[in-house]
Chain A
Amino acid sequence: RKEVEQDPGPFNVPEGATVAFNCTYSNSASQSFFWYRQDCRKEPKLLMSVYSSGNEDGRFTAQLNRASQYISLLIRDSKLSDSATYLCVVNGQNNDMRFGAGTRLTVKP
């Protein structure tokens, strides 16, 4: 089993839709969780950290479910500019960062 697993998608949604991605992780001792955004052929950029209590940044909401070992990212009122690949990142057993393979989102007019 991979340490961090994501549904690769693609998720194709219309503008204005709400879309959610999940990411499962295998290390029950993980303490740090992140979502990164990666545009095609470009470097990943930190989108948001995921806190135990959940957190929100504008149209983006991240949540953590420790019992089921997954994190989620919810995007409300999708914009064309949200089209990208979203990477889930979790700290691994050696406290290094483990990346999921990413979920691709396409927002269409």
Chain B
Amino acid sequence: EAQVTQNPRYLITVTGKKLTVTCSQNMNHEYMSWYRQDPGLGLRQIYYSMNVEVTDKGDVPEGYKVSRKEKRNFPLILESPSPNQTSLYFCASSRDRGLGGYTFGSGTRLTVV
């Protein structure tokens, strides 16, 4: 089954404790992206990747890092999480930068206390 797998689904952590949210897709998509979703603001892009070793900032990259060492994986790293990073995070992949539609992961609900 074609899918994007995100882990974990839920995470509660403390300020400053580094964490990684994993994302993996099995569709051989070149384009992958991370979004955060906050009430009233819609999905905002954090980082995206056009292909292996090619990443770029989205609209809200501050406080986040990503890497794309393999085509299927695109982890999101929070080096020093802060409470304003409490949000619902989605990873998405697409063959063509979303122009043909995204496939989203199930989401990660992160709470930073």
- Residues on A facing B (Cβ under 8 Å): 4, 8, 32, 34, 41-46, 49, 87, 89, 91, 95-97, 99-102
Contacts and interface: CB of A to CB of B under 8 A. Distances in A.
A90 to B, nearest CB: 10
Interface stretch (B14-22, B62-70, B72-80, B95-103): B95-103
Chain B interface size, under 10 / 10 to 19 / 20 to 34 / 35 or more: 20 to 34
B106 A99 contact: no
B34 interface: no
B2 interface: no
A100 B98 contact: no
A97 B97 CA distance: 8
Given A41-B107, A42-B106, A43-B106, A34 B43 contact: no
A45 B104 contact: yes
Nearest to B48: A96
A43 B41 CA distance: 16
A43 B42 CA distance: 12
Interface of B: 35, 40-45, 48, 58, 88, 90, 97-99, 101-102, 104-107, 109
Contacts of B107: 41-43
19 contacts: A8-B40, A32-B98, A34-B101, A41-B88, A42-B106, A42-B107, A43-B104, A44-B102, A45-B104, A46-B102, A49-B101, A91-B99, A95-B97, A96-B58, A96-B97, A97-B45, A97-B98, A99-B42, A101-B40
Contacts of B97: 95-97
A32 to B, nearest CB: 5
A89 B99 CA distance: 10
Contacts of A100: 42
Given A43-B105, A96-B98, 8 more contacts: A42-B106, A44-B43, A44-B102, A95-B99, A97-B98, A97-B102, A99-B42, A101-B40
